Structure 1
Amino acid sequence: MTAQTPSVPSTAEHRPRKTKAIVGWLIVVTLVLIVAFVALRVSVSPPGARGALDPEGRDDAGALALAEILRDRGVDVDVERSRTAARAAIGDDTTLVMANPYTLTDDALETLMEPADRIVFLSAGTHLLSALDIGENASGTLPAVSAECDVAEFARVGTIRADRLFSPTSGVVPCFGDANGAAVLVDDRTDDRRIVVEGSRLFGNASLAENGNAALALALLGQTDHVVWYVPSFADSDIEGESIDTLGTLTPPWVTPVILLLLLTGIAAAVWRGQRFGPLVAETLPVTVRASETMHGRARLTARAADSAHAAEALRDGAQRRLARRLGLAAHAGADEVADAASDRLRIPRGTLQALLAGPLPTDDTALIDLARRLDDLEAAVESSTHSARHDE
């Protein structure tokens, strides 16, 4: 009789499992590195690199489409993100365009506007309206309206739907509305013409083609051969203490290195502990507890606590469910229904059975024993009557 040599798994059998483990860990490490990279970018990058009405913005709120239309019409559009460069670029026959310059002080704004003969604000805040003394915000909305003013360049614009209105100061011409609320304000009180319009919903890439929005934009910005488009930003702000706060500037300098160290420690711990993991092993429970043992245990606890009322409720509940089944009732039948059915079956007064099934609970062990005996007698009587009825049939 020859002895059988035990089979030893070959290297080829272990190779697929090892390869899968390596690939799995590579995926985990890659995901962790991606998350760390994104977190670092968020912590050191300021938000909003291209805001609303930015002439180089390609999203729905940007104004790249308007800038390209102006260039197609032969208008030279210079995009400046520095107020110094923007002021230097202003010459004869030039329109200075900007969104609400909330990053500039009043003095810096006046210095920027000084050499311009025509200034268009594509959006305005309450402070800007007050600084220009051109009007104030007006409540309400208007349907599609035409210019209805004496400004020649607006004659062929058509209708627009503005979502913000202004109430003009005395001497300022309201267009696309009236003195109670207009979408465009034209100020010719000084040598330079100043125009204010809320264009966030009019001149964005997504809404420029609606109604007469494009025509209004060309009427505002296409009157000169040269447009200097200044883009306000916190990087060009002259307001002290108003620089952008990023997550990296708000946290102590040691936070980022600690986060990276924790990530590397987590990866090392995962690799170290992951090598000790084996296949899942199915194990049966070492002990099987029988229902009778559970019942006796609960009974001993109840007896030790001397809780006769709780024990009586349990006895009644069990007896009521068994009686309902024997009497052909639903399992959730109430005490009144069981008492009525048992009364009809046994010819016993209903009140007696109702007191037994739903009466006052016992307060001592003697009354509890008497209740248990009476419930047992009732179940035995119902069981006996059921057998008798079946025998008669």
Structure 2
Amino acid sequence: MSTVVPPHPVGQDAAVGQDRAGGTARGRRVGAPGPRPRRAATWVLVVAVALVLAALTALVQGDQRSAPAPLDPDSTTNSGSRALVRVLEQQGTPVAVVHEADRLPTDGAAGDTVFVADTAGVLDPAVARRLARTVAHVVLVSDDPRVLDAFGIRLAPAGEVQDGDTVSTASCGIPAAAAARRVSADGTAYAPEAGDTDAGLVLCAPSGSGPDRAWGLVRAATPAGDVTLVGTTAAFRNDTITTAGNAALALGLLETPSDGSGALTWYVPTPGSPDAAPTLGTLAPPWVPSLLGILGLVAVAAAVWRGRRLGPLVVEQLPVVVRAAETTEGRARLYARAADRTHALDTLRIAALRRTARRLGLPRSAHVDQVVRAAATATGLSDRYLGAVLVGGPVPDDRALVAGAEAIDAVEEAVRVATGGAPARRRAPSSGRGRPERHVVDGRRPPQPTDQGRADQRAPDHQRADQRHDDQHRPDQHRPDQHRPDQHRSDQHRGADS
């Protein structure tokens, strides 16, 4: 047996020969760049981009962490308060800077002052209520309504003042503000909410007029003493402390008695402190940001990897034509996966009944029993056997499914031959010993045609007509499918005479 090898296209003979000799990839010229260097370059680019993004993220987070908060007592920036702290220390007022609520004073000394710089809005209202009960003088910088309510201040932030003007405080009921006479108005202004009154409050540093009137300094009584709400934070900043009477206001609010009977605590709550209001960042474990970053890099790498594997998008022409064979094979796989043998064989039975009825000339509305009886009359097979093949019942296993399909095929072949159609040339399934298998349905074999019947099927039409005529006029023949010994002898004598 020889095999014909098609000629190679022009320009590929050398490449194919070298592929066989040197083991290079099939269908690729020797020396041509393969996909491996390109893939390696892609991964190098992905890793480089990931490293750059990680470095930028670290720099941004580092800048955010290193940036001091406004009114930080150790900050020398414009928004810090290092200048005020130095002046206080020079005048004999030591400043204790704390960031944790458990380090706040709790003895309730008459001269104690706590400056709460809650510029980030993270002060816990529970800590505010504790300060109101235990500290004699509280200077508060906060615009959180929950904190204001904890101190008993029935006001709400009305807006920000950023015009750079100063306001008079000479007639203010707060001694430190009256001594300053005039302070900067920049900061937060407070006003009563709808339905609330300012009874019991000392209001100073007004801004606006009429219904828009608000105040930058507010004093209210507490169980332990008083609290002064400062909205004009320019008095504590390094860049504006020397404006007008800002320094006098800040020193007057924060100075302690000269006899040393009190102390000043500068409290700066931070988002990471235990008393800070819980946020998503504080509630999450510390490894969550790193995990999210790693997952992001993995997602990018997976997108690059799968994107190259899948290739570009292809627009499919519509409508899509699906071959009938593909649909049949797909349904067959579904039946096989679900092990639904009965449904699969029922599909074959229904199709065989339709074809049999059409071949026998029956209408489409014919009942199954009519089709079975007509097929039995045409083929000579029993009604019971045909009913078992074309109707049947549950299929227990794959062997029964194959046997049922072959029996249906045999019945259709018998109907085709009985109605004058040419027999289909099909190879009988072998049982392994060179003999064709017989279809068994419900434990019964179909009736087998006799030798005379096979001869009738092979003989031409006019010979079969003559044979039937002889059979009808032969007195010693009682059954067409059986031959008596004397009949065989007469056939032999006729053959000898001829």
TM-score normalised by length of structure 1: 0.50
Structure index of larger Rg = 2
Larger RCO (CA within 8 A; separation ≥ 6): 1
The normalised TM-score by structure 2 is 0.40
